[in-house]
Amino acid sequence: MLGTKHGNRLDEITEQAWRQLASAAGTAGDTARQAKRQTSALADQATDRIGPVADEAWSRANAALDALAGRRRPLPWAWIVGAGALGVALGWLAGQAARAAVAPREQSPTAQEEDITERIAYVDVDQR
């Protein structure tokens, strides 16, 4: 009977150890997945912040290399063409505004007749 009690106690201890190990493994797996998600989020944020900085650094490094090699920067044709197009558009608008200011205002036919009558009424005729 002594052997049976001892065997049952070993089985209980083994079973309890197994449950604790399984629980610890499950908790470790959850912790690892959570750590993986947090690390991935931090890496994404770092990439989002470093990307434009790295592009700017490459651009400046290439410009410095070109300057040291004696190469001139190319003309910014897109800006030049855009400024020219803007100038043409503003000139056209100014021309339209000037034409509208100088052109006689359209009036109804009766208003034109009244205007002519007023002009005629004030004509000074010198009869000597």
Q: 33 is in which domain, residue-wise?
A: 1-73
> Is the whole model's pTM more than 0.75, yes or no?
no
- The predicted-structure confidence for 77-120, as pLDDT tens digits, reads as follows 999 999 999 999 999 999 999 988 887 665 555 555 666 666 65
Specify if 125 maps to a domain: no
Residue 89: both structure tokens together = 């558009």
| Residue 103 and residue 95 in contact, taking contact as beta carbons nearer than 8 Å | no
Domain co-membership, 68 together with 19: yes
pLDDT digits 0-9 by tens, 38-59: 888 888 888 888 888 888 999 9
In this structure, the answer to whether residues 64 and 101 fall within a common structural domain is no
Give dist(CA 23, CA 18) in Å, integer: 8
Angstrom distance (rounded) from CA 96 to CA 101: 9
Task: Quote the CA–CA distance of 74 and 123 in Å, as a whole number.
Answer: 69
Query: Could you tell me if 68 and 90 lie in one domain?
Result: no
The string of pLDDT tens digits covering residues 72-81 is 888 899 999 9
Cα of 4 vs its chain's centroid, Å: 76
Higher confidence at residue 2 or residue 53? 53
Residues 2, 35 within the same domain: yes
Residue 69 and residue 24 in one domain: yes
Total domains in the fold of the chain: 2
Judge whether residue 36 has pLDDT over 90: no
CA–CA distance, 128 with 118 (Å, rounded to integer): 24
Mean pLDDT, to the nearest integer, of 13-42? Answer: 86
